[in-house]
Amino acid sequence: MRDCFIARLSQMAEKDPRIMLITGDLGFCVLDDYRERFPNQFINAGVAEQNMAGLATGLALEGYIVYIYSIANFVFMRCLEQIRNDASYHNCNVNVVCIGGGFSYGALGISHHATEDLAIMRSLPGLTVVSPCDHWEATEATEAIANTPGVSYLRLDKSTAGTAIKSDDDFQIGKARVVREGSDLTLAATGGILAEALSAAEELAQQGIQARVLSVHTLKPLDVDAFAAAATETGGIITVEEHTVHGGLGGAVAEALLERGETPQFFHRIGLRHGFSSVVGSQDYLRTQYDMDCQAITAKAMQLLKSNLLDLKLHAQVAA
């Protein structure tokens, strides 16, 4: 995803001198070409994330469209105060780019596991929160956030669902995409873990179960209409995220549906439920350890569908 990001940003910088990229002393292999081509639109702020965010705010107030770029938690958690008090409060066009969402840097441990970022950034007033699921979404989101007022958070994953697009797809901030049709249940995923949801849908299809799959690339604003439709048109909703279940995609969906008065037949959040992600290993290994992989999604879907069917039969017997 990061290659998709820098390729589109380079195209934008070529056309618009207001584009500015600031890095926290990393990404040199990825950023080498950009730095050489656009030396006046690139700053290395060093290992000083708070200063990076403050500098970005100042540039944005002068009319620049600024991207700050660093690994996972470093780009937002270390400078959260500056993002909140400086950039967000003043509604600046500062785009916070997180490289390595979720377990992307799994072998480096908890300091590099971005598993609370969506909840934290979603809570800040005026922020747009974008978590692309595939290469195409990462590319389109890079430019879309530049045209979105205020601060945006772009969470880029090491994994990806490839390029899960249809010929008539149109990327819009706040608009989820139906990447697979189905009516038995809905699997809604954000980030590269969409690939696991799509694999689970294939497994379910082999058992005669048709799952609708939503690519939820924007958590804020959330596409409430897509989830309201899922609640009424499919048997239930399972959200999938490489993130804590507290305050992320699942929390956002539950809040929105309850406030709107929509109740799916069943609802379940797949995500980190075991406190901190204290295990280390590859991204795939950690998904398996924390019950977020294809097998875990498939098993939970089967369990919920079976339980819901039994409940419906029981209610029918009582009513009779």
CA angle 234, 236, 238 (to 5 degrees): 120
Beta partners for residue 43, in sequence order: 22
Count CA within 13 A, CB hemisphere, residue 153. Answer: 34
Beta partners for residue 213, in sequence order: 180, 187
Q: CB within 8 A of 62, min separation 6: which ones?
A: none
Asked, as a colleague might, if the bond just before 125 is cis with ω within 30 of 0, I would say: no
Pairwise CA distance, residues 227 & 26, whole Å = 38
> 3-class SS at 223?
coil
49 in catalytic set: yes
Residue among 60, 50, 56, 55 at smallest CA distance from 81: 50
Catalytic residue among 14, 49, 202, 203: 49
Pairwise CA distance, residues 215 & 223, whole Å = 11
Pairwise CA distance, residues 121 & 138, whole Å = 18
Q: Which long-range contacts (CB under 8 A, 24 or more apart) does 291-298 make?
A: 292/193, 292/196, 292/240, 292/242, 293/196, 294/196, 294/199, 294/200, 294/203, 296/270, 297/187, 297/196, 297/197, 297/200, 297/238, 297/240, 297/270, 298/200, 298/203, 298/204
Pairwise CA distance, residues 220 & 211, whole Å = 24
Active site residues: 49
